Amino acid sequence: MLVINNPEEMRQWSRERRREGSRIALVPTMGCLHEGHLSLIRLAREEADAVVVSIFVNPIQFGPAEDLEKYPRPFDADLARCRELGVAAVFAPAAGGLYAEDHSVFVEETEISTGLCGRTRPGHFRGVTTVVCKLFNLVQPDTAVFGRKDAQQALIIQRMVRDLNIPVRIITGPVVREKDGLAMSSRNRYLAPEERRQAAFIYQGLLAASAHYQAGHNDGASLLDFFRDLIAEKAPDALIEYAALVDGKSLQPVEKVTAPAMLAVAVRVGDTRLIDNIQIG
Ligand code: AMP
C-alpha cells in the first residue's frame, strides 16, 4: 500500500493506474477510521480494481468554534486498517498542503445544503463540496463512496457531480451502528460514559418514530414528538439541535409522509454534536 502526501504525486499515480485500465474507487474520510468507514472501503473494493482512501481533516469545513484542533488523528492505526483491507493507496495531504495561501475559489450547492446541518453549520457544506471536488480532480476516480450516516452530504455530492458534469459515479453505504444502535462516529470518543449511555437513545428515538409511522400515523409533527419525547425522558443531558422530517430527495420539510422521507436529527450530548437519520416510508 502506498501512502501519498503530495497532490501532484497522487494525480500521477492515478493517471498511471488509469492508463493500465484499472478502475479507481475513492473513499474520502477525515481519518480515525471505524467500522463505518471500513464498510465503505469494502464496498469500494467490490466496485473497482484499486481503492484510494483519502485521510484529510479539512479545515474549511469546520466553523471557528468547532473541533478542528482536537479532531482525533490516529494516523498509524488508520494506515494499518487500510492495509488489512487491501487499499491500494492512502492519500493524506499535509494540513496546509491542499490549499494555496490565497485560495479563493469554492464550490457551493445552494438548495439542499441550506437546511438541516447547513442551517446550524454555516459554510460547512461549502467546505465539503470544495474539498471533495479537489479530491475528485486529483484522484480522478471512476466511483466515490459515501456513507448514509451523512445523508445530506451524500445528496449534496450527488447534486454537485450532476450539476457540474463531474464524471464520477457516487454510491452510498448504509449507516453502521454500535451494538446499542448509536451510529458510529469518530466523535463518539469524546463522550463521557454517562453521555455515551444517553447517546444511544438518539437511535432509539428514531426507531420509536418509525414504529409510530408503521402503526399507521403519517403526520410529521406527531412522528417528531415521538422522537423528542423519548429524548426528553431518557437522555436528559441531550439537547436537540434539530429534528426534522424531510423529503428523501429534495430535503424539503414534509408535513405528512406520502413519499419516501427521512427523519434527520442533530443532537448535542454534552459538548459533542451527533447526527443520525432514518428512512420513513
Ligand atoms: P468522516 O471521516 O466522518 O468525514 O466520514 C467519511 C465517510 O464515512 C463519509 O462518507 C461518512 O458518511 C462515512 N461514515 C461515517 N460514519 C459512518 C457510519 N457510522 N456508517 C456509515 N458511513 C459512515
- Give nearest CA residue, ligand 1 atom 14: 147
Please tell me the predicted confidence (pLDDT) of residue 192: 98
pLDDT digits 0-9 by tens, 202-225: 999 999 999 999 999 999 999 999
pLDDT at 121 over 90: yes
Strand order in the sheet with 50-55: 2-4, 89-91, 50-55, 24-29, 143-147, 169-173
Please tell me the predicted confidence (pLDDT) of residue 101: 94
Q: How confident is the model at residue 95 (pLDDT cuts 50, 70, 90)?
A: confident
Mean pLDDT to the nearest integer, 230-240: 97
**Encoded amino acid at 228, one letter:** R
Mean pLDDT to the nearest integer, 188-194: 98
Whether 135 lines ligand 1, by a CB cut-off of 6 Å, is no
% of the chain at pLDDT higher than 90: 99
Query: CA 172, CA 143: separation in Å to the nearest integer?
Result: 10
Centroid of ligand 1 to alpha carbon of 38 (angstroms): 9
Neighbours of 264 (CB within 10 A): 21
Q: Give the residue among 186, 276, 191 at the shortest CA–CA distance from 231.
A: 276
Mean pLDDT to the nearest integer, 104-125: 97
Whole-structure pTM value: 0.98
- Give nearest CA residue, ligand 1 atom 15: 36
- Give nearest CA residue, ligand 1 atom 18: 36
Query: CA 217, CA 5: separation in Å to the nearest integer?
Result: 52
Please tell me the predicted confidence (pLDDT) of residue 210: 97
Neighbours of 270 (CB within 10 A): 16
pLDDT digits 0-9 by tens, 11-22: 999 999 999 999
pLDDT digits 0-9 by tens, 64-81: 999 999 999 999 999 999
3-state secondary structure of 219: strand
The catalytic position among 34, 37, 124, 217 is 37
Mean pLDDT to the nearest integer, 196-206: 98
Centroid of ligand 1 to alpha carbon of 19 (angstroms): 30
pLDDT digits 0-9 by tens, 15-71: 999 999 999 999 999 999 999 999 999 999 999 999 999 999 999 999 999 999 999
Atom of ligand 1 nearest to the CA of 176: 20
Average pLDDT, the chain: 97
Centroid of ligand 1 to alpha carbon of 175 (angstroms): 8
Q: Give the residue among 53, 223, 203, 80 at the shortest CA–CA distance from 139.
A: 53
pLDDT digits 0-9 by tens, 123-179: 999 999 999 999 999 999 999 999 999 999 999 999 999 999 999 999 999 999 999
Please tell me the predicted confidence (pLDDT) of residue 144: 99
Whether 176 lines ligand 1, by a CB cut-off of 6 Å, is yes
3-state secondary structure of 254: coil
Whether 170 lines ligand 1, by a CB cut-off of 6 Å, is no
% of the chain at pLDDT higher than 70: 100
pLDDT at 264 over 90: yes
Dihedral angle sign, alpha carbons of residues 158, 178, 74, 39: negative
Please tell me the predicted confidence (pLDDT) of residue 137: 98
Query: CA 18, CA 257: separation in Å to the nearest integer?
Result: 45
Centroid of ligand 1 to alpha carbon of 215 (angstroms): 31
Please tell me the predicted confidence (pLDDT) of residue 96: 85
Please give the residue that has the higher pLDDT: either 95 or 122: 122
Residue 37 appears among annotated catalytic residues: yes
Q: How confident is the model at residue 191 (pLDDT cuts 50, 70, 90)?
A: very high
